[in-house]
Amino acid sequence: DDGFAEKLSNWAESIRKTYLDGGCDEIISTRRLVHIVKAFGIFEDKLMAINLCIARFDEETKTSFLDLYTKHDETVDVDSEVEASDATIDFTPFQ
């Protein structure tokens, strides 16, 4: 997706500005953006990549970050992809 990197950087910039203004307690680091891009390369699903890489945040923060991303990328709809993002990935080694 050609515009994904630009949308991600705009999204992260919005979060960083909000953080500097005291509107939130967390930011999206450049390292996290790189992880999102790598996850997108693997799964080819924007929301899955973002969900996997913001999993460390509390539920309120994750929800607000995802909501803000949908404002930057009109091609994604969090509500229609809730089932996909709620799917768990089993990392248990084979026995």
Q: How far apart are CA 95 and CA 82, in angstroms?
A: 31
Q: Which range has the worst mean pLDDT, 38-42, 69-73, 91-95?
A: 91-95
- pLDDT surpassing 50 at residue 48: yes
Asked if residue 88 has pLDDT above 60, the reply is: no
pTM for this entry: 0.79
Specify the DSSP class assigned to residue 25: S
Tokens for 91, please give them. Answer: 């990392």
User: What pLDDT, in 10s, does the model give residues 8-46?
Assistant: 999 999 999 999 999 999 999 999 999 999 999 999 999
Q: Round to whole Å and give the CA distance between 78 and 1.
A: 18
Q: Two tokens at 7?
A: 């949308």
CA distances from 78 to 21, 22, 31, 68, 91 (A): 26, 26, 23, 11, 25
Instruction: Please give the pLDDT value at position 95.
Output: 52
